[in-house]
Structure 1
């Protein structure tokens, strides 16, 4: 079963390559496209990892369905049970970490709302008194609709036109429901560490998305760039609930964002460019996920084939499965 193990390990390592490709392609796309591409890639890579673990975990179970005694299974694949136990343990740890991460998100969001409860509201704007200079988009929570939170210190630090940029930026976060994309990628990063780099890339592109929306609202890209630079220089995060990934105008690599705003507005890919880029990312990233699903199915078919061999029944394998029989058979006999 050497080849099966090598295939499993390969599919668990491939997400690192998939994440690198997704980041590179996102750099060539406008912010909206980049954000959705990174989110989709994160889900596919995490799903592929889980599929590979499931495929390894259910081999003994499938053997029992074929009425194979455990002793006979271990004769053919001595490490089947240890590998299955390791895969089951990995999935259990992932589940615990996912639940803990989700609960932490909810807890910190609750704390964030408690921190700003003394603010005064005007529509979707919530101004919090204090000397801290900060602004962020606070998602909806338990009947409270999403609000743009700005400290009075930040309001004083910016001019009237710059405040308009700031509010438009944070409103873009709320309107685009960027916190959901951020949460999805954050949870996917728990499943496989390769996705963590996509989480950092997504933060940058979400801020770029909001930057472009703010520039469109004020109609002046240079004013938007100056406002974001000034807000970042004056900003702080001491007033936030510590640890919560709030989307803020001061987040991400601000110099890169300002430089992008001083360039012409990025155009959405058109025609062949759009489809080639989309298909390129889809093929590379989906290959990881589909490969993992194919592994799960392949292991199921292999157990069925092995069961027939051990029980002395004709396997009926030919063609591609004849090659599989040769590979897995040689691995099993080693």
Structure 2
């Protein structure tokens, strides 16, 4: 970007959705309190481990993979908590079911959007493979094809993924749903809603980072305030401030991408392009060509491996969310009446990978 981005204002301007889910005077049994504390303490540990050691680590594919691994672990933690609460599906209030199913559909949509962007980047990788293949012979007759592939890479990587626009609107709607339903007569329900709030906040934060990395814009970064009463609040606010500040700083000084492996590959491709402009090489350019080709090859390998690993974690996240949703729907079918109440608004949505 040619100029620094203004700090993004918090999305949450619609009242105070961060009130305590457990109001003053509420009491939990020792067992429930232990389950809740264990969940929140574990969430704090996961956030602490995720914080990049150095600014340079922010938005490397390796760190984004770690972020997705952490997100998978956190969503597995909430499934474990639900099991430990021994809260029968018949005791779930309709509004809890609506929130859970609506959120899960939106998370699946986001996962699909991110996976489509990774797939698009992999398609661009094919152009670079053609470049390396054409230059491997060392014959200047292959330069025309190499130039064509480099042009194809540049055009492809500069194109936009329209599916990301859908992802942005879905994320905005999730922010509007952060305010969990009030729970009046169920201590287990209060624990569940409080834990789910933490999962949603961290999920939105990580998804907003991916959105910034893939879209080429920091506009969708989220600055989410969290009350200090949550045991994970301190670690969350620390990593959010660290990562968001660094991303905005990077965007203020770069015009192409902040995904660092992608930027490295593009730089190596641009370095190679002038060398293959002519159909013949003078002797002192031969060594330059070989070194530039090797540099591109090394960067492409790192980039490709990172995309493969990120794809695996995105698929794992999709499956974790999908299986949790399917398990609830399956139990609702057994209950019959409860399922009929939510089927019309949730089960008619088709998911296409």
TM interval, shorter chain, is 0.3 to 0.5
Whichever structure has more strand as a proportion of its residues is: 1
Higher Rg of the two aligned structures: 1
User: How high is the TM-score relative to the length of structure 1?
Assistant: 0.32
User: How high is the TM-score relative to the length of structure 2?
Assistant: 0.31
